Amino acid sequence: QKEVEQNSGPLSVPEGAIASLNCTYSDRGSQSFFWYRQYSGKSPELIMFIYSNGDKEDGRFTAQLNKASQYVSLLIRDSQPSDSATYLCAAWKTSYDKVIFGPGTSLSVIP
Amino acid sequence: GAVVSQHPSRVICKSGTSVKIECRSLDFQATTMFWYRQFPKQSLMLMATSNEGSKATYEQGVEKDKFLINHASLTLSTLTVTSAHPEDSSFYICSIDTETQYFGPGTRLLVL
């Protein structure tokens, strides 16, 4: 079982729709969770991080964390073609003091 | 967030040569830096954790004699790919901070 799992996609949504990206993690000791966006040929850039159960909103992005279910999600409202990228979910593993990345989900927003 | 630079951004070399990649933290004193490798259409794979003033910690399966890491100051870490081969062609990315990772722009290595 991979430590951080994501559906590889591709996930296609029409412009203006809500894109929902999901992530599960296996280590209950993980405390912090991150969403990164990576455009093709570029390095990842941080979108959001979340520590506590519940929702965290930042502009068009909402991260959701459910530690009981070991589940993290990212919602992108009013999706734009510029949101087309690979989204990486990551968990900070306290026991190893390093971040574990998921395989990423490819998102395509269709104009 | 912190600003991280890498140099070079792209390098092409012949098989058997060594290539050095620099990672600089421009506005943050980083005692720890991380080196990742990413093959096409795959996720980031952590290669090693670079520790200022001490030896790097390598992930399982990464050859420490092939991927030499030096972290001589709080703002600079270098990764040297020794005797590079075509299978080492990849996108190498460094990052700083431990919990919230700030990434450099990456170095694309092509070994002919």
pLDDT tens per residue, range A51-107: 999 999 999 999 999 999 999 999 999 999 999 999 999 998 777 677 889 999 999
Contact A101 B44 (CB under 8 A): yes
Nearest to B106 among A32, A43, A97 (CB): A43
- pLDDT of A82 reads 97
Residue B98's pLDDT band (cuts 50, 70, 90): low
Q: Is residue B69 predicted with pLDDT exceeding 70?
A: yes
Q: What are B26-61's pLDDT values in tens digits? A: 988 888 899 999 998 888 999 999 988 888 999 999
Chain A residues at the B interface, defined by Cβ less than 8 Å, are 32, 34, 36, 41-46, 49, 88, 90, 92, 97-99, 101-104
- The tokens describing B23, both together, are 């990672």
Cβ neighbors of B92 (< 8 A, separation 6 or more) are B21, B35, B36, B37, B38, B79, B81, B106, B107, B108, B109
The mean per-residue pLDDT over the stretch B86-104 comes to: 89
Q: Is residue A27 predicted with pLDDT exceeding 90?
A: no
Say which residue, B5 or B51, is predicted with more confidence.
B5
Cβ neighbors of A64 (< 8 A, separation 6 or more) are A50, A54, A55, A56, A71, A72, A73, A74, A75
Residue A18's pLDDT band (cuts 50, 70, 90): very high
Cα distance between residue B41 and residue A15, in whole Å: 24
